[in-house]
Amino acid sequence: MGRGRVQLKRIENKINRQVTFSKRRTGLLKKAHEISVLCDADVALIVFSTKGKLFEYATDSCMERILERYERYSYAERQITAPDPNSHASWTLEHAKLKARLEILQKNHRHYMGEDLDSMSLKELQNLEHQLDNALKHIRSRKENRVSLHGISCRFLQLEAGGMMPTAWYNIPQVSKSTSKHSFQAPGHTSSIFSPS
């Protein structure tokens, strides 16, 4: 004679409940693996115990890839079944999202300006410091590049004005008195790179 059907309701005895959870969880993970192998299916299984402990199974251990696929599919489904964009509820939801995003941007801006830092944790402060350090490095690099280019430009004009252009760099054509314009060209180049009027 077989066992009777187990009634589906919460097991009151804590020890029995834990034992049942452990057995059923093992069976569930085994079934997930079997369907993945036998049917060549992508399977993702997530289980949290009552104590918050995570148990998971994913085909080829690629939980992130499967969840990304699920999210793309869910998004596409939501777009198909999305309500009329002209409806009041849709606009209200969009307004709430944009308002929340604006608040986050304003909060980040205050943090970047060194304001409202008291509510931040040590880790958040370290992340902010790291972001600002990277931004400063980028700005300094760009500034040094601009200063360097500006210096070369100024030196070029000074040499040209003083008639000290190195002839090894440029072919300087003879300019007749009737010609009001002349150009300096690099050897092998046909386009003018400097044409003072």
Q: Which residues contact 166 (CB under 8 A, 6 or more apart)?
A: 159
| Cβ atoms within 10 Å, residue 37 | 11
Record the pTM.
0.38
- C-alpha dist (Å) from residue 144 to 131, 141, 148: 20, 5, 6
Q: Using one digit for the tens of pLDDT, what is the confidence trace for 9-19? A: 999 999 999 99
Beta-strand (E) ranges in the chain?
44-48, 54-58
DSSP 143-192: HHHHHHHHHHHHHHHHHHHTT---TTT-B-----TT-----BB-TT--S-
- In tens, the pLDDT along 61-93 reads 788 888 888 888 877 777 666 556 566 777 787
Closest CA to 58 of 43, 40, 75: 43
**Residue 163 above 70 pLDDT?**
no
Position 152: which residue type?
A: I
The pLDDT value recorded for residue 25 is: 94
Q: What is the pLDDT of residues 102-154, one digit of tens each?
A: 888 888 888 888 888 887 788 888 988 998 999 899 999 998 888 888 777 77
pLDDT tens-place string over residues 175-193? 444 444 444 444 444 444 4
For Cα atoms 109, 115, 119, give the angle at the middle one, nearest 5 degrees.
100
H/E stretch holding 60 = none
Whether the Cβ atoms of residue 172 and residue 184 lie closer than 8 Å to each other: yes
